[in-house]
Amino acid sequence: MLKNPTPRQIAFFSSLVISTVLSIAILIVKLLGLMDISYLALICIFLFTLFSGYTVAIYYLKRYIYRKIKLIYKTIHKHKLNPLEKSNVVDIDVNIMDQVEKEVEEWSKYREKEIQDLKAYAEYRRKFLGDISHELKTPIFNIQGYLDSLLDGAKDEPERCDNYLERAARNVERLNTIVEDLEAIARLESGELMLDLQTFDIRELTEEVFDDLEIKANDKNVTLDFKEGAAHHYKVRGDRESIRQVLMNLITNSIKYGKKDGQTRVGFYDMDKNILIEVADNGIGIDKKHLNHVFDRFYRVDKSRSRQQGGSGLGLAIVKHIVEAHKQTINVRSTVGLGSTFGFTLEKA
């Protein structure tokens, strides 16, 4: 017997068996003298039965298989079958059941992956909404507290009034930062951010960022400088203002979480087609259990200290999106007590 026969083979062997059995029965009757029939007529009966049986078997097999396949395809396919294709759905020269089984298996794997993706997305959305509400709740609660105090009489005390208004203003600024960063994340993820690719000097841009952050660095007596060998003015290709945002965020973080009287150093490394830019500090460092999450939204290594320093908790997530929008990579390495180094690549011009 054939293994995994096609519909054509099933029809042929079925009609062959029926024709053979019928012909043998007629031959036995002839040999017993119960029927007078010539051998030519017997052969004609055999061929006619074989042909007609084959035709009928093919017809009903196609109808039966098509009906079964149609039910399966109604389940696994999202699109309707084209009426013009219906007559060609069943190819009688192939093992149609194996083909359908393969498609069902592929559909099953796809559905399983789709379900897992939906579960992951639902969990991510739940966590994200929880993080947003938590981040917004703190400044809103603070603002409400200061306004209530002012309404309860603190407004009549000039010194307390000014103090509470300044604190409320800082919390409003923090709220504004969170909202702006959320908008930036949404634009990056939706692909609405259009990169203005141009050629620029990465060292010159870094020097501009150093100048912008000089006062903040002086407040903690942090030295901003270049690593040895970073004197070369590499030309890179990218969106200059977006990369400025990346450098501003990384260097600002190195100042915030670096130690007092510390240093932040930037280095450049030629990687053939790309330039590696590294921002290193000798601050408190990051425990290895946190390294895989530092680019997650609202992830804070030290929650209480991070909120005291301000910020939205979205800075590194935005940095990662900007770098990936340039089709480049960013990474971090760190040791507690020794400091952290963030590195990202840009295309060499």
Closest CA to 323 of 208, 255, 212, 244: 244
How far, in Å, CA of 170 to CA of 21, rounded? 97
Q: Which two tokens stand for residue 81?
A: 């079958």
The arrangement of secondary structure in 197-348, i.e. its CATH architecture, is 2-Layer Sandwich (3.30)
Provide the 3-class DSSP secondary structure of residue 340: strand
Evaluate if pTM is beyond 0.75.
no
How far, in Å, CA of 339 to CA of 328, rounded? 24
Give the per-residue pLDDT at 88: 47
Give the per-residue pLDDT at 85: 45
Instruction: Tell me the mean pLDDT per 10 residues along the chain, length 349.
Output: 66 79 80 77 81 78 68 61 47 62 76 79 70 76 86 84 87 81 74 82 94 90 88 90 92 86 90 91 85 76 51 78 90 88 92
Give the per-residue pLDDT at 96: 63
Q: Nearest 5 degrees, angle CA 229-CA 232-CA 235?
A: 135
Task: Give the residue range(s) of CATH 3.30.565.10 domains in the chain.
Answer: 197-348
Task: Give the residue range(s) of CATH 1.10.287.130 domains in the chain.
Answer: 109-190
Cα 68 to its chain centre, rounded Å, is: 37
β-partners of residue 274 are: 271, 347
Q: Nearest 5 degrees, angle CA 225-CA 226-CA 228?
A: 130
What dotted CATH number matches 109-190? Answer: 1.10.287.130
